[in-house]
Structure formats: C-alpha cells, structure tokens
C-alpha cells in the first residue's frame, strides 16, 4: 500500500517534471514545425534537454536528502535517463510509424509511461536515501 509520502513525492516529481516536459516539447515542436525534421529526431533531442532540466530540479528540490554525491547521483540519473530515452524512442517510433498516430499524441503516451518508470527507478536507485 502506498503511503501519503509516496503520493506527495509523485506529485512533486510531476510538478518538477513539467519544466523538463516543457523543454522537451519545445524542442520537439521547433524540430518538427520550424526545422521540418522528423518527430523522432525532435523527440530524442528534446528528451535529452528535458532530462538535464529534470535532474537539476529533482536533485535540488525532491531528492535533496540523498546520501549519494552529486557525481554518483548524476551518473545513476544518466543510466535511468538512457532507459527512459529508449522507452520514449520505442513508443514514439512505434506509435507514429506502425499505428500512424500524430506525433504529439505519441509523445503524450510516451511521456506518461516514461514518467512512471523513471520515477520508480530514480526513487529506489538514483536518489536512494
């Protein structure tokens, strides 16, 4: 059973994640709508930008009680981000090319999935206290 503390952390993770998501989607939209590049390219580059924003915010505001050094948590966060990156890539690629979904719908589906997976991994592994 989840405790109130877990719901609070998920909520804060989501609020902080809005900044990373905004950065991610901004890059995605610029790549697709302005630069006329493929959605998968914009989504991939946007994911990396969003991950950088998210690490900084999560380390400072949510998981600040971690016993790990900054460099150790950054390395583990990168590993989790790589997992999230490939999950995001797979969902967007499959949804747009196999199912012919609009790229933004595919990205929303990927964002929700990656959010939950990376929260759990970051909580129990990256920022373990």
Max CA distance (Å), the chain: 47
What does the pLDDT look like over 38-83, one tens digit per residue? 999 999 999 999 999 998 898 888 877 777 788 888 899 899 999 9
The pLDDT of residue 60: 86
The pLDDT of residue 129: 63
Q: What is the dihedral of CA 48, 50, 54, 57, to 10 degrees?
A: 120
Contact 37, 31 (CB under 8 A): yes
pTM of the model: 0.85
């Amino acid at each position: 059973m989840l405790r109130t503390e877990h719901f609070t952390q998920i909520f804060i993770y989501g609020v902080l994640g809005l900044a990373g998501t905004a950065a991610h989607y901004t890059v995605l939209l610029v790549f697709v709508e302005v630069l006329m590049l493929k959605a998968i390219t914009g989504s991939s580059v946007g994911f990396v930008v969003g991950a950088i924003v998210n690490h900084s915010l999560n380390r400072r505001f949510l998981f600040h009680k971690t016993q790990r050094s900054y460099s150790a948590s950054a390395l583990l966060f990168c590993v989790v981000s790589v997992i999230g990156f490939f999950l995001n890539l797979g969902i967007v690629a499959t949804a747009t090319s196999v199912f012919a979904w609009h790229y933004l719908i595919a990205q929303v589906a990927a964002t929700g999935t990656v959010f939950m997976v990376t929260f759990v991994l970051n909580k129990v592994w990256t920022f373990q206290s």
